[in-house]
Amino acid sequence: MGSFKDSIMSFFGKSEKRSSIGIGDPAITRILGNHSPLETATNLSTASRAISLISGAYASSDATLYKTAKGGSPVEADTHALYDLMLNGTRDLSAYELKHALMSDLVTYGECFAHVEFDQNGKPTNLTPLSWNNMIVEFLGNGRIVYRWMNPLFNFNQTVYGQSDILHVKHRPFNGRGRSPIQLAALSMGIAVAVEDATSTAAQSGFSAGGILSAPGAISDETAARLQKTVQDNFSGTDKAGRVMVAGDGITLQQFALSAKDSELVANRQFNAYLVAQAYGTPPETVGLPFNSSWGSAQQSDIQLVSHCLNPWSQLLNQSITAFVLSPRERRTFYLASDYSDMTSGTLQDQAAAYASLTTSGIYTKNEAREVFDLPSLPGGDALTTPFNVAAIPHDPAKNGQQQGATA
């Protein structure tokens, strides 16, 4: 039967090849009830915080569509359909939900999907994120891709989409699929998961005792139970620290110190947390690892977070959206940008000094500076001002670019 089909296909000069679906496919994994290594690694607290930080920061910032004017300065393209979708959301989702769903899947799994609807003029009318867990990507072997979406709201019924309908954003792609930071740092992630599993096993089995009460001679079971209850009720716990315990009849208390093995486990967990943060490009302080931080380093961490983490992820998603939604002609002058200035603006004192300098030097008007702080404009505040002791130096082109009044 297969040879007959192949002969018919070859008669028409066509061939059909479909890529196989491995056991690691998210849909198959969910059906079998298994947990993939990727999902296990995302349960690490540092990885979960890094994903939440990146996706939350992107969703909270304004992703604004700009158009480059003839003079070279950008202006907001507020009449474009994509501008409205990214700032005001879709008919089903707010702008925050839309951006968070896309970035969360992109950072977690290395790729994200969205169904884009266009009108008869090719303008986007709606953009619906499709969860990575319910998407099957099928390569036909002839350069075409089929996307099968299983809708969890309708008993996981499948809807088939073509390439022209699905926005497929890929991080560091390989063989047509994106790769997550967890996959790219699989060795470090595997070690971190193994250490957490060992810690969990030790906790389930029971940690070592905190100490031992010893008597010079034999004591009855009733006396031992009474002593144990007395110590636990009156001297165990942080709220009972510092109390003085009196033991008679030669009874002594010997506390157990943390073993070298336990100390090494704690150090390994801390080191692995740094490795997980490194995989996502997040500074340790921003994901809750302030072991060696100070006030100055914390401020620099926010700048590093924007420069080395948020900007690259945002550029990947924003440029992928514009490449899919906009026409080649529009992409020459339109671009999508995320604003993270609030994270790098510093303290209120730093901002006040910066904008005071910008307004007195004639770079910003007073109303432009007030707009940054959400303050209403003032009459006469739209004019640029310069100090009285600053004036332009007259220029004579006949002197080959030399300034008048300059000495040889």
Spell 174-204 as b/e; 16+ CB within 10 A means b.
eeeebbbbbbebbebbeebbebbeeeeeeee
Structure tokens at 388: 């009285």
Q: What is the pLDDT averaged over residues 126-139?
A: 94
Give the type of residue at 7. S
Which of the four pLDDT bands, split at 50, 70 and 90, describes residue 33? very low
In terms of Cα–Cα distance, which of 313, 279, 281, 288 is closest to 41?
279
Q: What is the pLDDT of residue 10?
A: 46
- Per the model's pLDDT, the better-predicted residue between 24 and 243 turns out to be 243
Which of the four pLDDT bands, split at 50, 70 and 90, describes residue 336? very high
Q: What is the pLDDT of residue 138?
A: 94
Instruction: Using the predicted structure, report yes or no on whether residue 175 has a pLDDT greater than 60.
Output: yes
Helix (H, G, I), strand (E, B) or coil at 346: coil
Q: What is the pLDDT of residue 24?
A: 43
Q: Are 180 and 38 in contact (CB under 8 A)?
A: yes
Q: What is the pLDDT of residue 274?
A: 86
Q: What is the pLDDT of residue 42?
A: 80
Which of the four pLDDT bands, split at 50, 70 and 90, describes residue 20? very low
Which of the four pLDDT bands, split at 50, 70 and 90, describes residue 257? low
Long-range contacts of the stretch 190-193 (C-beta < 8 A, 24+): 190/37, 190/41, 191/272, 191/275, 192/41, 192/44, 192/272, 192/273, 192/275, 192/276, 193/37, 193/40, 193/41, 193/44
Q: What is the pLDDT of residue 244?
A: 57
What percentage of the chain has pLDDT greater than the value 70?
A: 71
Q: What is the pLDDT of residue 375?
A: 86
CA atoms within 13 A on the CB side of 111: 22
Residues in the chain: 408
Which of the four pLDDT bands, split at 50, 70 and 90, describes residue 160? very high
Q: What is the pLDDT of residue 8?
A: 39
Q: What is the pLDDT of residue 340?
A: 92
Q: What is the pLDDT averaged over residues 215-219?
A: 71
Max Cα separation, the chain? 112
Q: What is the pLDDT averaged over residues 139-146?
A: 91
What percentage of the chain has pLDDT greater than the value 90?
A: 37
Residues whose CB is less than 8 angstroms from the CB of residue 386 and which lie 6 or more positions away in sequence, other chains included: 360, 361, 362
Instruction: Using the predicted structure, report yes or no on whether residue 159 has a pLDDT greater than 60.
Output: yes
Considering the chain, what is the average pLDDT of its residues?
Answer: 79
Express each pLDDT in 244-253 by its tens digit. 566 666 667 6
Question: Mean pLDDT lowest for which of 19-33, 124-138, 235-249, 351-365?
Answer: 19-33
Question: Mean pLDDT lowest for which of 100-104, 213-217, 256-260, 382-386?
Answer: 256-260
Q: What region does 138 belong to: left with phi over 0, alpha with psi -120 to 50, or beta? A: beta
Q: Are 144 and 159 in contact (CB under 8 A)?
A: no
The span from the CA of 133 to the CA of 76, in Å, is 35
Name 114's bridge partners: 129, 167
Q: What is the pLDDT averaged over residues 323-352?
A: 88
Name 253's bridge partners: 213
In terms of Cα–Cα distance, which of 343, 273, 336 is closest to 305?
343
Name 158's bridge partners: 150
From residue 154, alpha-carbon distances to 148, 157, 159, 290 in Å are 14, 6, 11, 45
The span from the CA of 55 to the CA of 57, in Å, is 6
Q: Where are the domains of the chain?
A: 17-207+269-344, 209-255, 345-391
Which of the four pLDDT bands, split at 50, 70 and 90, describes residue 31? very low
Q: What is the pLDDT averaged over residues 106-131?
A: 94
- Per the model's pLDDT, the better-predicted residue between 346 and 177 turns out to be 177
Which of the four pLDDT bands, split at 50, 70 and 90, describes residue 103? very high
From residue 53, alpha-carbon distances to 47, 49, 286, 346 in Å are 10, 6, 8, 19
Q: Are strands 63-68 and 74-76 parallel, antiparallel or unpaired?
A: antiparallel
